[in-house]
Amino acid sequence: MAVATRVLAFGRAQLADRPECSNIASAIGVAQYVAIAGDVARRLGGGRILDWGAGWGQASLLMWAHGLDVVAYDIEDKGAAAGLLARTGVPYIIAPGPGLPFVDGEFDAVLNCGVLEHVDDQVRALAELRRVLRAGGWLFTYHLPNRLAYTEWLGRRLGRFHHDRTYTRAEAVTLFEGVGFRVVECRPFHILPRNVWGRVAGRLGERAGRGYERLDAVLLRVPGLSRFATAWALVTQRPASNLSA
């Protein structure tokens, strides 16, 4: 996939100066975004989607390649307009949060990929996402940190990266429902780590990344193991007008 190769080349080129690019500096890291973009495109089919907290623009670019009408948004300029999103026509909007510079009901869907756990006011942020969704619109959430994740435990024990805010499945469902979303699905997301491979995975190609994804899917089906998954993935919906309070 040419777009995935473009993301990988960008991540590898940036890594020396920007260590935070490690999530897209290996084929294993990029494969997770390929899978997410494919999942969103299959579920949504088409329409206008907001990539909330777009960062370098990797998810925006991959969703654009699936034919979705993408708007990338972030609170800081990471150079995506002149980087991964150059010549795509995908708008890259920079504005402070949590308020969003979009009108009510502007989007058919929103992608929240590894963002919500970092915002100061998660309830207000979710309320804004609900506001900019049309009635019946979808919020796709990936990488919401699992309270029981072995990676979180290891990170704390080793003094390495971990999230200050984590969620049990019940807490995640309650949070989204409390803001007025209907939770359609909340599933364990990833057993194997993705973002640690940027500096150690060498020149592994896209085939290795796809294989890693398949192995992870097998591990998630092992009884009892999924409760220690790294994160949750949620599919939630703003209820249609005649169903909302």
Q: Give the largest Cα separation in the chain, rounded.
A: 53
> Which of the four pLDDT bands, split at 50, 70 and 90, describes residue 39?
very high
The dihedrals phi and psi of 117, each to the nearest 5 degrees, come to -70, -10
Architecture of domain 43-194+225-237 in CATH? 3-Layer(aba) Sandwich (3.40)
| 143-170 residue pLDDT tens | 999 999 998 888 888 777 677 899 999 9
Higher pLDDT, 59 or 1: 59
Give the predicted TM-score (pTM) of the model: 0.92
The residues that bridge with 49 in the sheet, in sequence order, are 70, 109
Report the amino acid identity of residue 203. Answer: R
Give the residue among 110, 59, 47 at the shortest CA–CA distance from 88.
59
Three-state DSSP class for residue 139: strand
Residue range 66-119, pLDDT digits in tens:
999 999 999 999 999 999 999 999 999 999 988 999 999 999 999 999 999 999
pLDDT at 10 over 50: yes
Mean pLDDT of the region 186-209 = 78
Report the alpha-carbon distance of residue 64 to residue 61 in Å, rounded: 5
Of the candidates 15, 25, 11, 21, which has an alpha carbon nearest to the alpha carbon of residue 198? 25
